[in-house]
Structure 1
Amino acid sequence: MVARVSARESAGGTQSVERALSLLSAFTEEYPARRVSELVAVTGLGQSTVSRLVGALVALGYLAHDERSGLYSVGPTVITLAGIGLNHTPVHQQSRQAAQSLAGALGLGVNVAERHGSSLFYLCHFEGPSAPRPTTLIGRGGPLHATGMGKALISELPTDEIRALIGSAYARYTPHTIPDLKGLTAVLEEVRQRGYATEIEELAFGRACLAAPIRDRTGHIVAALSVSGPLSAMNLAQRQDELAMTVIEYADQISSGLGYHAKVTGLTG
């Protein structure tokens, strides 16, 4: 959802920056290309202001313009900046090769995500032949309560913090979506006990996911690794234990790369 520019605007350059960013924020997964008239309607800015800023953003490469259709879209400069940010993210650096190898080994989709506030944020996405997708998930968000990765990410948070993150209104994506905090806390207890989370048609019909947490050197959960795909390809009824062991193993490898070392307890002799 794009924030409209407030009536009480700051002065000078800050005002121009806020307006330019509001224009960039108008481009979403649902609306990857827009006309000037749409940008005016979405941002609440005047026609002349939008035209002037759009021209500047095109000149700087932040927007691209199709002369034939008149549509504007995200430009190469934004893609370059996104790549720089992604490539310098520690989790992405440590997980990219492992995720790619896992997708090749299993033939399933493999994702890595962090939590940004009340949603997850995809950092890596690789497709397997059994789980093709028409678009990449990188950069997209997702609900914490209705995904395997989300459950893995919040599995060790206190109940009060989970309540603050998600609130009392749990979005229902399918009849299988967890409906409330009580149901979620029960599921998260199971996630903690077995070390991984599952999701079966909670976000979308016909798809399933299995995810394990990734930890940093402090032991805190900072990301999650998942395998996902159609129900038939995942076949959790028969493959859940096998997939769980594999995903946990790869997640542990990534955690080790981030400096995490699991504590081993027991007697030595």
Structure 2
Amino acid sequence: MSEQQMHQSVARAAAILDAIGTSAGPGMRAAEIAEAAGLGLSTTTRLLATLLELGFASRVSEREYALGPRLLALSSQELNQSAVFRESRMLCQSLAQSTRLNANVAVRHGARCVYLCHFEGDLSPKNQSMVGLAMPLHATGLGKCLLLDTSEQERIDLLGAGLPVYTPHTVSSHAELTRQLEEGRERGYCVEDQELALGRFCLASPVRDRTGGICAAVSVSGRISVFTGDQRSSIQEQLVESADRISVNLGHLSGASAG
């Protein structure tokens, strides 16, 4: 097999795994996978057989396929190799327990933010894990934090001139995004107010490593009705303190909270 053929095979296998991973149901038939991946049925069937053999795919019924256990093992290994994950996991879990809301840690990959940690609070239960999920930068509190050290031109180059709109509250212009980020720098946290989903509110604070650069962000999210008055002030304090402690764990000593 030539190098080009090998590259094509790997790309097609990745497309198949992406198609299976985005399925709304517990499994997909080969024909559905082929259509979603933009491949022929015979090619899909052949590659599925190899992915099954290697453990990257599995069968949930005689005719339906799902992602395989080897992917879970690899993702766990990647997480455990991440210093941000190791230093933030326990603090993120404690934040969820103390606020009773969802607490998350995310990093930036290209033009998206990707969840590394997700812990549920009893006031904001979810029925699925957020770990590994990719979200838009401009429409999330976590994403805005990950953009704090960038210039407006860098954001235009990264996100494009037009910003996708998800709700009537989504930031739709770079000028408005720049204004919100300037506010976020001054107060130490960013706000997501129903920008990705109606009824959802999120506060997020940046995490810095030993170089001083933003390497991650931590957030607390839940129903908008929870973030009111004194309760919001308490959540903000706990959030910023947690972000500072993670930064300290990563070697950013100047990020420590006073006292």
How many residues are paired up? 254
Shift of 1:256: 0.7
SS of the residue corresponding to residue 172 of structure 1 reads: coil
Query: What does 1:17-36 align with in structure 2 at a 5 Å threshold?
Result: 17-31=10-24, 33-36=27-30
Taking the aligned partners of 2:191 and 2:133, their CA distance within structure 1 comes to 20
Superposition TM-score, scaled by structure 1 size: 0.89
Structure 1 residues not aligned, in runs of 5+: 1-8, 265-269
Counterpart position of 1:64: 58
Taking the aligned partners of 2:43 and 2:165, their CA distance within structure 1 comes to 39
Counterpart position of 2:247: 255
Aligned residue type for 1:85 = E
Does the 8 Å contact 1:131/1:233 carry over to 2? no
Which of structure 1's runs of 4+ aligned residues deviate more than 4 A? Answer: none
Taking the aligned partners of 1:160 and 1:88, their CA distance within structure 2 comes to 33
Which of residues 63, 72, 82 is equivalent to 1:79?
A: 72
Which of residues 158, 163, 166 is equivalent to 1:173?
A: 166
Aligned residue type for 1:169 = G
Taking the aligned partners of 2:169 and 2:40, their CA distance within structure 1 comes to 45
Taking the aligned partners of 1:95 and 1:223, their CA distance within structure 2 comes to 10
1:28-58, Cα deviation, whole Å (9 max, x unpaired): 3444632111222233333222212111111
Does the 8 Å contact 1:228/1:234 carry over to 2? no
Structure 2 residues not aligned, in runs of 5+: none
Counterpart position of 1:232: 225
Taking the aligned partners of 2:40 and 2:172, their CA distance within structure 1 comes to 42
Counterpart position of 1:5: none
RMSD across aligned positions (CA): 1.8
SS of the residue corresponding to residue 129 of structure 1 reads: coil
For the pair 1:186 / 2:179, whether they are aligned, the reply is: yes
Aligned residue type for 2:163 = Y
Taking the aligned partners of 1:115 and 1:181, their CA distance within structure 2 comes to 19
1:140-196, Cα deviation, whole Å (9 max, x unpaired): 111111111111111121111111112121111111111100111111110011111
Superposition TM-score, scaled by structure 2 size: 0.92
Does the 8 Å contact 2:248/2:255 carry over to 1? no
1:181-219, Cα deviation, whole Å (9 max, x unpaired): 011111111001111111111111111000100000000
More helix by share: 2
Q: 1:30 to 1:40 in 2, by over 3 A?
A: closer
* Rg comparison, structure with higher value: 1
Which of residues 232, 238, 241 is equivalent to 2:233?
A: 241
Which of residues 25, 29, 39 is equivalent to 1:45?
A: 39
Aligned residue type for 2:239 = V
Q: 1:62 to 1:39 in 2, by over 3 A?
A: same
Q: 1:204 to 1:156 in 2, by over 3 A?
A: same
Counterpart position of 1:158: 151
